[in-house]
Structure 1
Amino acid sequence: MLLILEHLMYKLKVTEDLPEIPHPCNYFDLIGGTSTGGLIALMLGRLRMSVKDSMEAYGQLVKEVFSDVRFQGGDKKLKTSKLEKAIKQILQAYLASHDPEDKLEDIQDNACKTFAGRATSADPTFFEQIEIRLSGIEEEFVDGGISHNNPTASLLSEAKEWLQTDCEKTHQFFADHFAGTENLYFRFNVEQGLQNIPPNQWEKLSHVAANTRQYIQSQLVITQLAKAATSLSEKRGKVSAGSLAPVLTAIEMGQSQVVPTLVGCPPPSQIFQGRQDILARMKDPFSKDIGKRHVYVLHGLGGSGKTQIALKFLNMMNQYPTPRFTKQFFINASSQQTLDTAFKNIAIANKIGNSFQDALSWLITGTKEWMLLFDNADDPNINLFLFFPQCTHGNIIITSRNPQLAVHGPRSHSKVGNMEETDAIELLLLSAAEDNTVETAKRASEIVKELCYLPLAIIQAGAYISKFNCLDQYLSLYKQDHARLLKEHPEQSHNDYEWTVYTTWQISFKQLSKVAAQFLQLCSLLHHDKIPEAIFQKAAEWTGDVQNVQQARAFLQNFLTPSMIWNQQLFMGIIAEIAAYSLVNRHPGAVLSIHPLVQLWCRNTLANEPKVRECMMDILGMSVMLTDDEDMFRIGLIVHMDSLVQDPATVKPVFLAEYAQIYFDSSRYKEAESLEVTALEKQKQHLGANHSATLLTMENLAVTYHHLGRYQAAEPLEVTVMEKRKQLFGEDHPETLHAMGNWLPQSEGLAVTVLEKQKQLFGADHLETLRAMGNLAATYRWLGRYQESEALEVTVLERQRQVFGADHPDTLHAMAHLAVTYHRLGRYQAAEPLEVTVLEKRTQLFGADHPETLRAMGNLAATYRWLGRFQESEALQVTVLEKQRQVFGVDHPDTLQAMAHLAVTYHQLGRYLEAEPLEVTVLEKRKQLLGADHPDTLYAMENLAATYHQIGRYQESEPLAVTVLEKRRQVFAADHPDTLHAMAHLAIIYHQLGKYQEAEPLEVSVLEKQTQLFGADHPETLHAMRNLATTYHQLGRYQEAKCLCWK
């Protein structure tokens, strides 16, 4: 038996991923035995010994006690002295801090552990009986195994009487009674080869071991050991104390069969909360067409409260003056065995037979309004329809994790999801025995949100809070060790549900095939929502030559035909297998989702998390290698990359570049930078500094630095790329010109050179030439030379139309750039038709939610604002902001841009109090994302300063305006339009503060520069002139003010 137990403990080590083989005392509540089995129970239980130590101690004891040849006679009694000595040696060795004469339990008699060991092994065949004084009376004890060799019943009932001697009879008694409850009762017994070996033949222990190992190797025993390990790991049995009553009664009465006590539907939990929407939907079908068949299916994730909803419904329906259902039967539908047993019990209890068919026939022929509640019908291999009485009357409710069972109630089923927040808060506080006050509700709200409003997790949390009185501390405890808290079973509960959050999912997980389990674990490392199934297909279809992706390709092989073609049916089959336990959900658009707590559980139970993460990173990387032109697919991967890529150093270089590009295209420049820096280091190391791939990464990193506003960091990289390409290819090579073209914002001369060379090499209408022309136009715009920018952009747009057509994305791009330049020039009437066209065409090409479409919408909204069409502007901007939040999230640069534009509109409408919080958010987020010196951050700072100014908070406005002016002088030039705008704004603030002397030189400078840049009649120039005239008037310089006013 110790050998079997050793194997069982090893199974437990594997099941729970433990660092060492556990001790049985940590898993068994009761350990019993008779004869030498009693000694083993004493070692394993009271002495808390490991199986290995128990085997060594037992072997040594048997050898010492039985090795004396004088005691080999058939009818001779072995002296007890050696046995007592051996027992004391074990006690002293493994209970060193206690005297071997200490009592086994804290009771009033003087029985000690040595006596207990002696008494259980006092087989009169070998040993003398033992006399023990109990309460002043000497009593004789012999080995209990003489008449009760199987002590199972004694362990359960703790009764004084013993069962019959026959072990097999006792075993069969319990096996029959618990047949309807899986994985509860196990018996391991080596039947062959050990029948005639008495304990005094210690030298045959090797023979015992050999037969035991052979027994363990049988497939049946292997399966039973695995199931036993699972039950021990889950810590809780599947039978309540109440259901043992018939067994114990039968034991006391000496019965050989237990008459089943029919289990009706128990009442719902006393703390049941919410679910009114589902209860209302359930009531409707059962309230109509009385006398006809009705079936309702509740399906959802384990722990979502399906059973409690069903019980609450039945309780509710039986509160009527006349109960709706005359008989209710609670059926454990978790297996074929439990279903058969439940129907057999129905037959026996109603005295109409003793078989499944008897019960079914009785239900079919009866006319009463019975209700069958099939609970936990989770096994997808069971056709539950076969257990339905085939008649037109009766009522059925099914609870299952398998959504496919909705087929039994096509229009009468509900998916049971998370609770509503208010109900979840009340459930937590009731579970925790806390009053519902403003303060406790606030704490509870934070906790239930962290627990994703899952009922079972909330009840467990409430029990823990109640036990330790830790409502205030629970959230921090949970974040420190959520795995332990979600595994912990409450000592006191409001129902007989035996599983914790984690064990309920572990049960489902163990039913999955190897491939399905791997798929779920891989998906758990992605974001829990909107997981595109296309990731796996695209990865499988990519045939690029990349080293060290064998693990990923081996997994994807499961979904390929022998001819290496993607097999969608195989893939869908795996998803269906997992979805049958509600561990994943499939949504329209071929995307998956995982409940956040299931995702957390999956991650916590990964045996080799780094290898699994590497495999998923390779699959994701392989999938994006085929998707250069699929913008929406790539954008959708952002949240999954955030979840998956924890350390860029663990990503393969070839995938690093693709990941970085996706981040860059989504304006996530900091993340792009991190990946590009890592990729550059690896490429320099493995490929060399002059390799084309290394130079390309260096070039991309420089462009990223530009977008981050880190121009000084970008310049040396761009110079290096340009010089190396000159050395490798020559000055006129396209790659060299491409490098020169990237180094443009600081160098007009380079941009002009690149354009001239591109014309010479490719001609005026070539794509590269038009690209160079667009870059030069962007440089002019950057420098504030809008007229020169306009001239180039008009040319680019005309040629793009000729070469590509009016609807080509590049043509629309050129049109959008020209509209921006018109906007900067104050020519809003000219910008509007271009922006309307761009928006319409992009909506047709990409859809309403595409990033390019949303940018076009934002630009048109800004133009409407400047044209005074505020209602149209606001409506567009609200739409853009909502969609940007949905597509990119709240922290994305495009979302912040939409927020900033809406704030400007509010500002111009005089709704400053609505503008301020938006502007504060934009400024804070841009500082985090882009840095304090980035041009976009300075725009946000300038807008907030203007709002503070309008609401009279001049002291807060002034330092912001001063900072903006100083930074712009550093980044741009003194005569750049943005610098002049900052100068004009600060002058206005000085004016409001009465600092006219400080305002006047700023306004003079602004007027001079504006006149040079835009001309005397430009709106900005006229505005500057008006501001200076006002200042002159305040300074008493009326003549100068009058002259400006006349102008």
Structure 2
Amino acid sequence: MKVGLIEAPSSPMIPIIVAIALVVGSMLWRRTKTSKTNKTNPPLQKLKCRRIQGIPFQTTKESLIDELRKWLPAHQSHYHLTLARSSSSAFTATVNSFEIPDPESFLYTVDETFIGITPLFDSDEASIDIIAVPGLGNHSIGSFKAKDKDHVWIRDFLPKDIPSARILVYGYDTSIKNANAKHSIPDLAKSFLMELQTSQRPIIFVAHSLGGLLVKEALYLALRGRAQPHNNDFFRSSYALIFFGVPNLGLKNESLREIVNGQLNQQLIHDLHLDNESEPTPFLRELGQKFMQCCQEQAFQIISFYEQRMTKMVRVMENGQISKDGLFCYMVTRDSACRIDLGDNFHKEEPLDRDHSDLVKFSSQSDESYVKVLFRLKDLVENTPSAVENRFASTKNIGITYHGNMQWKIPRATNNLFTGRTELISRIQKALHCGPAASDEQKRFVITGLGGQGKSEICLQVASQMREEFWGVFWVNVSKASTAESDFITIAKLLGRSVESVSDALYVLASIKQPWLLILDNADDPNFDYQIYFPSGTHGAILMTSRVSECKEYSPEQFEALEGLGNEDSKELLLKAAHIPKESWRSYNDQAEIVVQLLGSHTLALTQAGAYIAKGRCQLHQYPQVYQRQRKRLMQFRPKQAQSRYHDVYATFEASAEVLEQSKSEAAKDALDLLAILSMLDSAVLPLKIFQSAWDGGRKVLRTSRKETNEIDAISRNHVLRLPGFLGAEGDEWDPFRLIEASSQLISLSLVMRHGVDGLVELSMHPLAHAWAKDRQDPEQQGVTWIAAGCVLTLSGPNPIMWQTQERRLLPHIQSYLDIKIGRVFLFGHESIVIPILLRCGWILLNMRQDTRLSHLLEDMFSKLSKHPEEPSKEFLPLYDLQAGSLLNIGKNKIAVALLQKIVKIQEITLAEDHPDRLASQHALARACQANGQVKEAVVLLQQVVKIRETTLAEDHPDRLNSQYELSIAYRANRQVKEAVILLQQVVKIRETTLAEDNPDRLNSQHELAIAYRANGQVKEAVVLLEQVVKIREAIQAEDHPHRLASQQALARAYRVNGQVKEAVALLQQVVKIRETTLAEDNPDRLNSQDALAMAYQANGQIKEAVALLEQVVKIRETIQAEDHPSRLTSQQVLARAYKANGQVKEAVALLEQVVRIMRSKFPKGHPSRVISEDWLSDLSQQT
């Protein structure tokens, strides 16, 4: 054994050595030459620590002090003397003294340099060695001495707190200024390794700054030289490392580079610094890779302490001396200090509230930082496992006995960013545990899921955490047959067998008696039988990863279909990857939440987003905007650290597409076509029923006349021919086989997910996979796909039941499909193809009440086609019909009336009076008139339309029923309530016998009948019917759907009239809240809801709330509506009533006088509305 590492007394337990390599980066310490002084001279300002070597083993501490007194000043009474064995026949001592004994007369060797190993404390019971190693420009003792004190914690505190430890310090020359030797880190590591050659004892290293690099290099040298027994013993003995500010990625101190420029140690300093782009130097990158090889070969427990205070940089003063009074900086950043790239089970991070120099300078045993360090040391010492003992024992008992992990073939270390998945990893460990009672069967677990979700990383975690349970852990990449074969042959060689085939290698593995774990990674080919890679027999454990969902069949009871990380874990991963300090996470929570939702909790995407932010490319809150602008570039961003197998997000998905592209089958081609169609829609759940509806629509088009038409909304044979091939559009019968096969291919590769309720098959995609599927197509391909997807939507439109019942599912798809510049889509095909698609999509938006989206679409279309939106032309009437419907829905009733009057006028010239299009326009005009307060005109128009349709259409024809429905609404508005009830009862009766209960037309009719009931005094009937309608609409429509809100509002009004005031208030508050967030403040629906809520407030005694809300409504109506508009007059009357209830009688009278004046000019004497207003004004006037 080398000096300093003598054998401890024999013990039934193997002694433990804790080698703490503490290398301090402090630049303050300067070695100064001390003059010899006489004993009578005045004492020096500071004591210095000296080393005394060559002390005979029989020397006592007392005899040594007696000898020292002959040479040290008489006034010195305290020595801080230590005495510890340095070999089997000699001691080494340290002493604090003002002077150094005369080397010519003193019996022993004395020095101040402390080069090599120096023991500081020892006892017969000691089973632990602690070795401290100072570093760059530091004295090996002074490095650990607190400022302005004589205490050296590794000498004075640690022996008391860990009495089972033998304390040693290791010193070496790392002078900064005027260095007279050319050292490199590998050179220093070789010397260090020579000093630390040991027998089979566990070792714990602790290193600060340069020392950590020295230890890492020494471990690699030992690994590389394992053929020599002493290197093998050293490597196997190494168990844990405690690092203090180790510059794994480099340090920052530019003045240091200036100081050493031209000196022999110039390269050493340059190797430690970050390069010009704040990246690690080539040396540090290489050292990191070397250390990862060590970690892959053997597990280490590592604790990284990092500085939280900035350090003053050193500089050279005019007198040539080094002074530490430069600018402040973080000498070693947290990222640099903690970049080990191991999982949480093997690597812990701890902050210390100190600068870089003071990380290992502790003033007392109660020092907070010392307490932290001591806790970690004790934890390691007290809980040191038997792993090292097993490592050595296993080499002696290689037969059946298992003594820890001996074979470790893993491609890379665990990722230090790994987050979450705790429950899953625990479940996998339980499934793979090879206990004695479970040795009768081979253990298996399969993980399937989308690329980039972390399947391989989970395997790395499982392998690392279960390492000591398995004699051998082996990893095989089965993505290709060639790589699988190579990996299996390598495994056989590791086991001492030379083979040439996979089957022979599997036989070798199956023959091993010790427990083993085999990881089969990347089993991603859906057409390959991976059973051939499973060793025979019941022994061992197998963990497989695959994108192919069917691979779960290899372990039907133990598998996991991996999805995104949980929300909190996703945010943690993002913030860790972005290098945002943990103490600041709470303040970034909302920003992180947005990014997590944007990226769909995709593990690799979150990691790369964090890396992008950490690089300073943008701030966290800016990432969503940058993503929207530069999605493709961001998803192809490749960080230099913590890379995945595929390097970037899109590459993980493209690997799956390559499987399909390499296949020549029809199903694979159809799968790619289906993938392209889905990319033009939304990533949300899509009912596959839409494809059958498109096929039905295509058949209807093909069966009609082949005569060409000039109508701009005509759906033609050309649209049918642009449907995707897997629909078989020209077949005589619907055959879903190719669609099912295509979707199955995508599902098997985890590119899409399958859902289904009540036999209805649905597909969805991860948002990032969906984005990739679109971005992978070039502009020309995107154009072809957009037309094909549009033809699916357009041709499925004639199936109103499918669109009505699946409205909530289909809405995001129509929105995403139209999320494109209209000018661009006209480049995709001829106007005869594009315009009908856009118009059909527009009508879908109209029916779904996507008012704002439709308004924007029409605005873009008018602009592109150079048409005036208020001046219709004959050839573009379908576009203007749609515009009129849009204007009505957004409350621009006056403009809608004017436009429809022009449309009707054109059609009266060109079409017969019973032509469906002419009747439809008159019907729409009547609706607009009614909405605009022109109720009488609406009644006259609708009576005319109904009369014609009743003579030309069957009684259950939808157009006839729609006209009767609209006429009944006009009757009610015109106070012809009984006529409205009779007509609506007739409509409802027919629709209840011909339509499903959730059909929108049936629900609309019931809704209006209930309102008519209420107006007719049949309040209970109204409540019952509306509760039924609301219940159905809440089940099938989104909470902000206008029809659902309208029915809830109608029910609330009925509740109020029925005396259920509190229920009315609660329901109306909900309706108003939604409409205030989705509609403009002057939207008629929003104003009507606020009117209704104010009336409910008044009925509930909340008069002040009613007045405030009504004043707001009336103010808006007086701005946007004519003074004789019915809705404006109604709101004014309701406000007048609220004024009266609030005691504001004068205000009430003034407002009613204005209303009565308008009523008298609008209605003849005796009209009910006029009479009611006049009577109420008369009564109110008498009260003033």
Structure 1 length-normalised TM: 0.60
The residue aligned with 1:392 is 538
Of 490, 506, 529, which residue of structure 2 is paired with 1:345?
A: 490
Cα distance change of structure 1 residues 406 and 557 upon mapping to structure 2, 3 Å threshold: same
CA distance in structure 2 between the aligned counterparts of 1:536 and 1:948, rounded to whole angstroms = 49
Contact 2:570–2:606 (Cα < 8 Å) also in 1: yes
Q: Deviations over 1:91-117 (max 9, x none)?
A: xxxxxxxxxxxxxxxxxxxxxxxxxxx
Deviation at 1:607, TM superposition (A): 1.0
Matching residue's letter, 1:792? A
Of 702, 725, 750, which residue of structure 1 is paired with 2:907?
A: 725
The residue aligned with 2:687 is 532
Cα distance change of structure 1 residues 477 and 1024 upon mapping to structure 2, 3 Å threshold: same
The residue aligned with 1:585 is 753
Residue 786 (structure 2) pairs with residue 614 (structure 1):
yes
Structure with greater helix percent = 1
The residue aligned with 2:1066 is 905
Deviation at 1:526, TM superposition (A): 1.0
The residue aligned with 1:751 is 942
Alignment of 1:613-762 (within 5 A): 613-630=785-802, 631-633=804-806, 636-645=809-818, 646-648=820-822, 650=825, 652-673=834-855, 694-695=876-877, 697-731=879-913, 736-744=918-926, 745=930, 746=934, 747=937, 748-756=939-947
Contact 2:978–2:1016 (Cα < 8 Å) also in 1: no
The residue aligned with 2:116 is none
Q: Deviations over 1:117-145 (max 9, x none)?
A: xxxxxxxxxxxxxxxxxxxxxxxxxxxxx
Matching residue's letter, 2:651? T
Deviation at 1:405, TM superposition (A): 0.7
Deviation at 1:419, TM superposition (A): 1.2
Contact 1:424–1:458 (Cα < 8 Å) also in 2: yes
Contact 1:1007–1:1025 (Cα < 8 Å) also in 2: no
Of 782, 785, 798, which residue of structure 1 is paired with 2:974?
A: 785
Contact 1:819–1:834 (Cα < 8 Å) also in 2: yes
The residue aligned with 2:309 is none
CA distance in structure 1 between the aligned counterparts of 2:1119 and 2:1083, rounded to whole angstroms = 9
The residue aligned with 1:960 is 1112
- DSSP 3-state at the match of 1:371: strand
Q: Which runs of 5+ in 2 are unaligned?
A: 1-284, 295-405, 662-668, 703-713, 826-832
Alignment of 1:179-194 (within 5 A): none
Cα distance change of structure 1 residues 471 and 457 upon mapping to structure 2, 3 Å threshold: same
Q: Deviations over 1:558-583 (max 9, x none)?
A: 45399565543322222232333322
- Give the root-mean-square deviation of aligned CA atoms: 4.9
Of 309, 329, 334, which residue of structure 1 is paired with 2:474?
A: 329
Deviation at 1:305, TM superposition (A): 0.8
Q: Deviations over 1:259-281 (max 9, x none)?
A: x9962475532232111232233
Alignment of 1:17-32 (within 5 A): none
Deviation at 1:778, TM superposition (A): 1.7
Contact 1:1007–1:1021 (Cα < 8 Å) also in 2: no
CA distance in structure 1 between the aligned counterparts of 2:835 and 2:566, rounded to whole angstroms = 45
Structure with greater strand percent = 2
Residue 595 (structure 2) pairs with residue 595 (structure 1):
no
Cα distance change of structure 1 residues 964 and 846 upon mapping to structure 2, 3 Å threshold: closer
Q: Which moved more, 1:517-526 or 1:794-803?
A: 794-803
Deviation at 1:423, TM superposition (A): 1.4
The residue aligned with 2:564 is 418
Cα distance change of structure 1 residues 327 and 634 upon mapping to structure 2, 3 Å threshold: same
Cα distance change of structure 1 residues 985 and 824 upon mapping to structure 2, 3 Å threshold: farther
Alignment of 1:865-944 (within 5 A): 865-869=1056-1060, 873=1063, 904-905=1065-1066, 915=1069, 919=1072, 921-927=1074-1080, 932-942=1081-1091
Matching residue's letter, 1:785? N
Q: Deviations over 1:195-236 (max 9, x none)?
A: xxxxxxxxxxxxxxxxxxxxxxxxxxxxxxxxxxxxxxxxx9
How many residues are paired up?
727
CA distance in structure 2 between the aligned counterparts of 1:491 and 1:933, rounded to whole angstroms = 54
Of 555, 568, 587, which residue of structure 2 is paired with 1:409?
A: 555
Deviation at 1:499, TM superposition (A): 1.6
Q: Which moved more, 1:726-735 or 1:703-712?
A: 726-735
Deviation at 1:375, TM superposition (A): 1.2
Cα distance change of structure 1 residues 866 and 647 upon mapping to structure 2, 3 Å threshold: farther
Contact 1:326–1:370 (Cα < 8 Å) also in 2: yes
Contact 1:561–1:567 (Cα < 8 Å) also in 2: no
CA distance in structure 1 between the aligned counterparts of 2:967 and 2:729, rounded to whole angstroms = 52
Residue 1129 (structure 2) pairs with residue 979 (structure 1):
yes
Alignment of 1:270-419 (within 5 A): 270-287=416-433, 290-291=438-439, 292-318=441-467, 323-355=468-500, 356-419=502-565
Alignment of 1:49-198 (within 5 A): none
- DSSP 3-state at the match of 1:415: strand
Matching residue's letter, 1:665? N
The residue aligned with 1:253 is none
The residue aligned with 1:15 is none
The residue aligned with 1:832 is 1023
- DSSP 3-state at the match of 2:409: coil
CA distance in structure 2 between the aligned counterparts of 1:295 and 1:936, rounded to whole angstroms = 60
Matching residue's letter, 1:970? A
Deviation at 1:831, TM superposition (A): 1.5
Cα distance change of structure 1 residues 622 and 714 upon mapping to structure 2, 3 Å threshold: closer
Contact 1:926–1:937 (Cα < 8 Å) also in 2: yes
Contact 2:956–2:990 (Cα < 8 Å) also in 1: no
Larger radius of gyration: 2
Contact 1:299–1:400 (Cα < 8 Å) also in 2: yes
Cα distance change of structure 1 residues 506 and 759 upon mapping to structure 2, 3 Å threshold: closer
The residue aligned with 1:129 is none
CA distance in structure 1 between the aligned counterparts of 2:1105 and 2:1149, rounded to whole angstroms = 21
The residue aligned with 2:355 is none
Contact 1:946–1:957 (Cα < 8 Å) also in 2: no
Q: Deviations over 1:438-479 (max 9, x none)?
A: 224444333333332222122222333333385446514444
Deviation at 1:623, TM superposition (A): 3.2
- DSSP 3-state at the match of 1:970: coil
CA distance in structure 2 between the aligned counterparts of 1:312 and 1:499, rounded to whole angstroms = 19
Q: Deviations over 1:821-858 (max 9, x none)?
A: 23345542242344466679999999999998997677
Cα distance change of structure 1 residues 851 and 806 upon mapping to structure 2, 3 Å threshold: farther
- DSSP 3-state at the match of 2:639: coil
- DSSP 3-state at the match of 1:574: helix
Contact 2:449–2:562 (Cα < 8 Å) also in 1: yes
Cα distance change of structure 1 residues 771 and 940 upon mapping to structure 2, 3 Å threshold: closer
CA distance in structure 1 between the aligned counterparts of 2:861 and 2:893, rounded to whole angstroms = 20
CA distance in structure 1 between the aligned counterparts of 2:1035 and 2:640, rounded to whole angstroms = 61
CA distance in structure 2 between the aligned counterparts of 1:242 and 1:577, rounded to whole angstroms = 42
CA distance in structure 2 between the aligned counterparts of 1:575 and 1:762, rounded to whole angstroms = 43
Contact 2:492–2:509 (Cα < 8 Å) also in 1: no
Structure 2 length-normalised TM: 0.54
Alignment of 1:844-883 (within 5 A): 859-860=1050-1051, 863-869=1054-1060, 873=1063
